[in-house]
């Protein structure tokens, strides 16, 4: 045997194609962007004071830090043996009980702790659903546009993604029905419909009650599972959205994904699946990560049972409504001749249409002016499909920056169009 030398090892691997070792899933998908990974996406800019309206994240100056720290401290001091061990497939039971009781009040449904599975945010929920129910070659239908990270997750399980246009009241039920019929007639297995019905990302729209009922009917007739992403549902401004797909169907054929990321903090990495027992069993069957951190779950249980979470969410609604209006006022004051935009009923985002110019050009010109946001094209399967929209997130930026945004956007339009 030749003398061991790490240079020999390096030389052998240098001549080996890593591509040949990859799974078919890894070969079939490209690397994601920062937004897909949950980081603050931004275009390069040399501006000394950039305004970033890119990422859908809470205002960190408004997080309930004292309550979270107190919950973590109590868990370590009083329950260290349990809070610092593996979390298990379902997660800390008292946290799941607290979530179930709170959802029962909010949605007027009947859940127990056994209907809740704790996960690494709603993205972890989605990955568990895909792992349990999607086979390579299956079809998943999404709204168009939709969150790009979801598209990549579905493609990562070697499923086919088909999009159906999203409108102000949700997807068109007739278009949805025709798409399902066409795919089934061609021999495709339509397995999943992924939807963000409340304060949609990126469009901000709310799916109407009538659309929800029609889509539920189509899915139940065709055995299509609905993956309902409720990340923004609680963040309404004046009145709550219509009943969830889950509530309307009493959970039959619907798995609901919820998250603390948008209502508390993204870095907690805590969310939950809400599902009937016939779905929770296969979902836990394919879970191999030994669960999430019970320490976080202990703190969240305290936050819920103390009533502090409800107080915090109520305050967030008022804060984000004011922030949304501040940005809208700035846009209307400086950019009315260039854009069309409507006030959403809640959530994190404005979906802005350019009356003139190409949205991607505007996006780059705005970055030069120190205003950073994504063009609408990044939310479509076909990135060339939309050239007229961009998305603005108003939750994180301070009021002064929101008021300044219209000025910078106007300069960007003037730079592109003049």
Question: CATH no. for residue 36?
Answer: 3.90.1150.10
Q: Please indicate, yes or no, whether residues 176 and 295 belong to a single structural domain of this protein.
A: yes
Looking at residue 224, its pLDDT comes to 97
Phi then psi dihedrals of residue 63, to 5 deg: -75, 150
DSSP one-letter string for 370-404:
TEE--BGGGGSSSTTS-SSEEEEE-SSS-HHHHHH
* Structural domain includes residue 254: yes
d(CA 155, CA 29): 7
Q: Please indicate, yes or no, whether residues 178 and 48 belong to a single structural domain of this protein.
A: no
* Structural domain includes residue 160: yes
Q: Please indicate, yes or no, whether residues 98 and 240 belong to a single structural domain of this protein.
A: yes
Domain boundary, last residue among 275, 306, 337: 306
**How far is the CA of 276 from the CAs of 100, 113, 144, 233, 407, in angstroms?**
12, 11, 28, 20, 50
Domain boundary, last residue among 268, 283, 306: 306
Q: How far is CA 247 from the centre of its chain?
A: 20
d(CA 87, CA 301): 14
Question: CATH no. for residue 156?
Answer: 3.40.640.10
Q: Please indicate, yes or no, whether residues 234 and 113 belong to a single structural domain of this protein.
A: yes
Looking at residue 265, its pLDDT comes to 87
Let me know if 122 is exposed, middle or buried by CB neighbors in 10 A (0-12, 13-18, 19+).
buried
Q: Please indicate, yes or no, whether residues 200 and 266 belong to a single structural domain of this protein.
A: yes
Q: Please indicate, yes or no, whether residues 352 and 236 belong to a single structural domain of this protein.
A: no
Q: Please indicate, yes or no, whether residues 154 and 253 belong to a single structural domain of this protein.
A: yes
Task: Return the H-helix or E-strand segment holding 270.
Answer: none
The per-residue pLDDT string of the chain (418 residues; one tens digit each, 9 = 90 and over) reads: 556 677 776 676 677 777 777 667 666 666 555 555 545 455 677 888 899 999 889 998 888 888 989 888 888 888 878 877 877 789 899 999 999 999 999 999 999 999 999 999 889 999 999 999 999 999 999 999 999 888 889 999 999 999 999 999 999 999 999 999 999 999 999 999 999 999 999 999 999 999 999 999 999 999 999 999 999 999 999 999 999 999 999 999 999 999 999 999 888 889 999 999 999 999 999 988 888 888 889 899 999 999 999 999 999 999 999 999 999 999 999 999 999 999 999 999 999 999 999 999 999 999 999 999 999 999 999 888 888 999 999 999 999 999 999 999 999 999 999 7
Q: Please indicate, yes or no, whether residues 252 and 381 belong to a single structural domain of this protein.
A: no
272 forms bridges with which residues in the sheet? 118, 258
Residue ranges making up the domain that contains 240: 79-306
* Structural domain includes residue 25: no
* Structural domain includes residue 63: no
Ramachandran quadrant class, 152 (left: phi over 0; alpha: psi -120 to 50; beta: rest): alpha
Q: Please indicate, yes or no, whether residues 84 and 34 belong to a single structural domain of this protein.
A: no
d(CA 137, CA 142): 16
How many separate domains does the chain show? Answer: 2
Q: Which residue, 398, 400, 411, is CA-closest to 362? A: 411
DSSP, collapsed to helix, strand or coil, labels residue 17 as coil
**Which pTM value belongs to this model?**
0.91
Domain boundary, last residue among 306, 335, 369: 306
Decide if 360 contacts 414 (C-beta within 8 A): no
d(CA 20, CA 30): 16
Q: Please indicate, yes or no, whether residues 291 and 316 belong to a single structural domain of this protein.
A: no
Looking at residue 415, its pLDDT comes to 95
d(CA 313, CA 237): 11
Decide if 207 contacts 240 (C-beta within 8 A): no
């Amino acid at each position: 045997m030749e003398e061991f030398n790490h240079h020999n090892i390096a030389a052998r691997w240098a001549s080996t194609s890593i591509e040949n070792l990859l799974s078919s899933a890894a070969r079939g998908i490209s690397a994601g962007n920062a937004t897909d990974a949950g980081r603050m996406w931004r275009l390069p800019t040399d501006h000394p004071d950039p305004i970033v309206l890119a990422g859908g994240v809470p205002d960190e100056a408004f997080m309930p830090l004292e309550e979270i720290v107190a919950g973590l401290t109590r868990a370590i001091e009083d329950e260290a043996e349990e809070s610092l061990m593996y979390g298990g497939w379902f997660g800390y039971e008292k946290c799941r009980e607290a979530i179930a009781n709170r959802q029962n009040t909010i949605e007027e449904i009947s859940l127990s702790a056994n209907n809740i599975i704790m996960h690494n945010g709603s993205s972890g929920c989605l990955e568990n659903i895909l792992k349990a129910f999607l086979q390579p070659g299956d079809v998943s239908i999404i709204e168009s546009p939709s969150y790009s990270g979801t598209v990549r997750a579905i493609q990562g399980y070697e499923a086919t993604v088909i999009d159906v246009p999203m409108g102000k009241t949700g997807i068109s039920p007739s278009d949805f029905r025709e798409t399902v019929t066409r795919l089934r007639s061609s021999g495709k297995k339509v397995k999943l419909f992924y939807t963000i019905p409340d304060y949609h990302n990126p469009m901000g729209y709310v799916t109407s009650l009538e659309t929800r009922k029609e889509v539920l009917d189509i899915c139940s007739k065709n055995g299509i599972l609905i993956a309902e992403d409720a990340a923004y549902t609680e963040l309404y401004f004046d009145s709550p959205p219509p009943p969830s797909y889950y509530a309307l169907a009493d959970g039959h054929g619907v798995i609901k994904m919820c998250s603390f990321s948008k209502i508390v903090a993204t870095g907690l990495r805590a969310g939950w699946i809400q599902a009937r027992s016939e779905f929770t069993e296969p979902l836990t069957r394919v879970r191999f990560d030994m669960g999430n951190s019970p320490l976080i779950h202990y703190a969240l249980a305290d936050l819920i049972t103390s009533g502090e979470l409800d107080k915090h969410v109520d305050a967030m609604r008022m804060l984000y409504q004011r922030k949304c209006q501040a940005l809208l006022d700035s846009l209307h004051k400086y950019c009315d001749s260039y854009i069309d935009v409507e006030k959403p009923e809640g959530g994190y985002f404005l979906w802005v249409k350019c009356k003139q110019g190409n949205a991607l050009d505007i996006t780059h010109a705005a970055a030069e002016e120190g205003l950073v946001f994504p063009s609408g094209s990044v939310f479509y399967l076909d990135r060339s499909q939309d050239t007229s929209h961009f998305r603005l997130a108003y939750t994180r930026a301070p009021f002064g920056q929101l008021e300044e945004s219209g000025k910078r956007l106007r300069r960007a339009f003037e730079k592109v169009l003049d």
